[in-house]
Structure 1
């Protein structure tokens, strides 16, 4: 007769024992407090201990969700790893939203899936954005040298959709105000807006050079 229990997954002792003991301790403290309150001999003690029961009960009600949170944490030999799969999924989605180059996306995907800690996942996202900025600068500098117009796909805010700008690139330099000076921007003439716009480099999703060219002298006169 085949063993029907061979396919069952055994949960390691180090995973369930600390959580079980903590839950038991919380309930034990609550039971002890209730017992002390109900075995009081004087009326004044009953009132005082009843107040303590209320305080302890409220504290334990706050503590129990913490126990539930601990039960969601995977304890491994390398440390705590809280919902790593969810963190990786969110990171992959963020990279897809902020980066268009398939090579950069693929490299980031590999780094994210190989990460063992949430901090490593975030580093992979930062590295992807940084690499995308480098490629953006290279494309813009090529366009400036060749006087090519560009189509820039730009996400002004993570919660907003991507916008496409038809531009004549002018230069890359920091922002013009105190709050924007720490970031580099693509300064360009926007044909949609008929004016100069500044696009923050780490929010540029992708750049496509056009075969059309522009005359910098004409734009400077406008």
Structure 2
């Protein structure tokens, strides 16, 4: 069955009719696409061609009214009550790497510290201008978003890097989770901070002219998540 199931990371009400119209307009598949509401905020997207289904998966993440859409491909035996959503594939830009560490190996190892690596953009390895490298990673939606930290290579060389996320929506600045509402968030605000630990500076494409902050604030905020490790490289927050 050529189907994707999807739901939005929100508990807020939204216009389902407008949602269907938006995706029909964006995806431009005409009568080849059927969108079925199967209840409890769950949609089934039915395609005619395998290439259409893969195009939707490969060109996400998608969103509506600042709510991220998480998708999962149909599997035999799946029911509306048994479907779970755990990851969101997203393109991540890695800023601040020294030129001698701009490599596919570094990209893959750093990516593993964020989640399952889906794809690596090789343009930075062949381009005459490479300000960052880019990887597509399946990030866990039940964990806080990584903001950056320090990378240590096997020889002990240490450098600070920052992450920027392409087409990032629905991020709660207080806790770093996607789709969290204020009433559902149990993360207390740090009393010694004047700003939230997360912000629009994590979104790719918002870089101002002259900004060389490598995708992060001038200093990483407090309340950073615990360090995570990758093969060969270690990401230290």
* Larger fraction in strand: 2
* Larger fraction in helix: 1
Which entry has the higher C-alpha Rg, 1 or 2? 1
Q: Give the TM-score, by structure 2 length.
A: 0.23
Q: Give the TM-score, by structure 1 length.
A: 0.24
